Structure 1
Amino acid sequence: MSGVTLATGPDETTSSARKPERQQGGVGVMGSLRVIELQLVAFIMVFSASGLVPLLDLIFPALASAYLLLLSRFAFPSLGTTTSSSHEILFQGSRFFRLYMVAGTSVGLFLPLAYVLGGFARGDQHAVRSATPHLFLLSFQILTENIISGLSLFSPPIRALVPLLYTVRRIFVLIDWIQDVWINKTLPPNAQLKDVTWYWFGKGLAVANLAYFSINLFGFLIPQFLPRAFERYFRERSEVNSKLAEDKHSQAMNRTKHADKKAE
C-alpha cells in the first residue's frame, strides 16, 4: 500500500538465508506485512461487495487497470533488460522509511478494518458505509502492487503510477469519509462513554488517513517515487538505444569488411 511493495521490492524469501541477519529483519517485517495485507484483502473484498461501495469506486480499478495496460503497451513498454526487472527495487528506503510505511499500513488498513468490523458489531451502518470505499480501493491497490511487482511485463513508470492513481482517488474518498463523520454524524444526547469514544475514534481515524495519504502523495510519491521511476526508465532506454546503435554500427563495419575481402 502507498507504494510499499513497489518501493521496498518483493519478499525475497528464497534468498533470505544468504543475507546477513541485520538485513533479514527489514525484509522479514515487510514480507510478513504483505502476507497479512493480502489475507486482509481477501476478507475486505467479501464485505465490500455487499452494496456499500459506490458505483464509481467499483469501476475505478477496472478503469485504472485498463489505463495502465495502455500506457504499458504504447507509452512506457518494458525494455526487457535485466536492470528493469520487476524484482529491482525502485526506492531503497531507510529504516525510518520502513517504519513510516508500517505506520501507514496500520493507519490505512488495520485501524479502518477494525473500525468497520466494530461498526458491524455495534450496528453502526453509518461507520461501515463511510470507511468501506477507502478499504475497497486500498485492497485493489495492494493486489495491483503485488501483481505488478512480480511481473517483468511492466516498466518502472507503470509500477510507480499504481499507488499514485489509487492514492489520488482515495484522497477524494477520504474527504467524503471526513464529511460523513464530522458533519453528517451526530452524537446522541444520552451517549455513554463508550459511544463517545467510538464517535471520536471514527473522526480521528478519518483525519489521520487523509493526513497520512496526503503527505504520502505530495511528499513522497510525486516528488520522490515517480521521478525516480522515470529517471531509471529513461536511463535504461538510453542505454538500450546506445547498445542497439553500437550493434548496428558493428554489423555495418563487418559487412563493409566482408565486401572489401570479396573485392580483393
Structure 2
Amino acid sequence: MSGGVGTTCNDISLPNEGIQGHEKSSHPNPLKPTRFLTLRQLNCLAVMIIVAASGMVSLEDFAFVVFSILYMYLLLKVAFPRKISPQNSLVFDPRNKILRLYVTVGAIIGLYLPVAYIFHGILEGDKQGIKAAAPHVFLLASQVFMEGVAFSDRFSIPVRVYVPVFYNSRRIFSLVDWLRCEFTKVDNEYAGSGKRVYVGRVLALANMGFWCFNLFGFLLPVYLPKAFKMYYSETKVKD
C-alpha cells in the first residue's frame, strides 16, 4: 500500500520525509547513502520479535517471511535489475493528501488498533483473540520492515511492488482465520468481556474490508500497472 511513496510504515511514508525526499530528487546532487535500518524498521522488528516470542506465530508464517526475503533478491538478480535512478523511482507524489490520508487510516486500522487489542486481551485473559490477531500483526510488521529494505537504493520498482502485494495477499488468509475466531467465541470457552467480543468482530471486519480493497482496488489495478509502466518505459529509453 506504500504506492511508491517512499520508506514506509504499515505501507506508510511519513509526510515530512516523503516531501523532503521529493524535494531532494529535484536536485542533481547524488543521493546520500541511506541507513539500512531506520527507526521505523527497528520498531517493527521489535514488534515481530515480541509477537514471535509469545509463541503465537506459526512456522508457516516464519517460513513465509524467510521465503519473501530470498525471493525478493532473486527477482532483483534474475528478473528486475535496477535501471531507474533513485531520484526517479517514486510512483506517486508523496505530497498527495488523499494518499497520505489513506495510508494513515491503514496504519490505524491495520497496526495500532490490533496491537492495542492484543494488549487489552492480555488483561482480559482472551487467549483466543490474541492468538487470532497475532499472525496479522506479525505479518504486517514484517511487511513494513521489508518495505523499508525494498525502498533502499538497491532495489528496482517491480521489487518494491512485490513486497506489499505479496504480503497483503498472505494476510488475507490470516484475516479470514481471525474473523472465524471472533465469530465463534461465544460457542467456545471465552474469558473476556462481552464488549470485547463486538470490538474484536468490528476490528477484524474492518481489517478484512480495508486490506481486500487495498489489494484488489489499489495495488493490483492501480499501483502495479503504473509501476511496471514506469519501469519498462525507462528500459526502452535506455535501449
- Structure 2 stretches lacking a partner, 5+ long: 8-13, 24-37
Corresponding position of 1:215: 213
Alignment of 1:152-163 (within 5 A): 152-163=153-164
Change over 3 Å in CA distance of 1:87–1:133 after alignment to 2: farther
Residues 142-184 of structure 1 show CA distances to partners (whole Å, capped at 9, x for unaligned) of: 001111112x22110110110000000000110011011112x
Corresponding position of 1:195: 193
What is the CA RMSD across the aligned residues, in angstroms? 2.8
Paired amino acid for 2:76: S
Number of residue pairs matched? 217
Q: Is the 8 A contact 1:48 1:133 kept in 2?
A: no
Q: Name the larger-Rg structure.
A: 1
How far does residue 39 in structure 1 lie from its aligned partner after superposition? 2.3
Corresponding position of 2:5: 8
Corresponding position of 1:121: 123
Corresponding position of 1:149: 151
Give the % identical residues. 33
Q: Runs of at least 4 residues of structure 1 off by over 4 A?
A: 11-19, 34-38, 187-191
Paired amino acid for 1:219: G
Alignment of 1:167-206 (within 5 A): 167-183=168-184, 185-186=185-186, 195-206=193-204
Kindly indicate which of the two structures has a greater share of residues assigned to helix. Answer: 1
- Structure 1 stretches lacking a partner, 5+ long: 20-33, 242-264
Corresponding position of 2:108: 106
Q: Is the 8 A contact 1:116 1:132 kept in 2?
A: yes
- Provide the secondary structure at the position in 2 that maps to 1:8: coil
Give the distance between the partners of 1:204 and 1:231, measured in 2 at CA. Answer: 38
Paired amino acid for 1:77: P
How far does residue 226 in structure 1 lie from its aligned partner after superposition? 0.7
TM-score after normalising by structure 1: 0.74
TM-score after normalising by structure 2: 0.81
Give the distance between the partners of 2:150 and 2:52, measured in 1 at CA. Answer: 23
Alignment of 1:1-264 (within 5 A): 2-3=1-2, 7-10=4-7, 13=17, 16=20, 38-79=42-83, 81-82=84-85, 85=86, 88-92=89-93, 94-150=96-152, 152-183=153-184, 185-186=185-186, 195-241=193-239
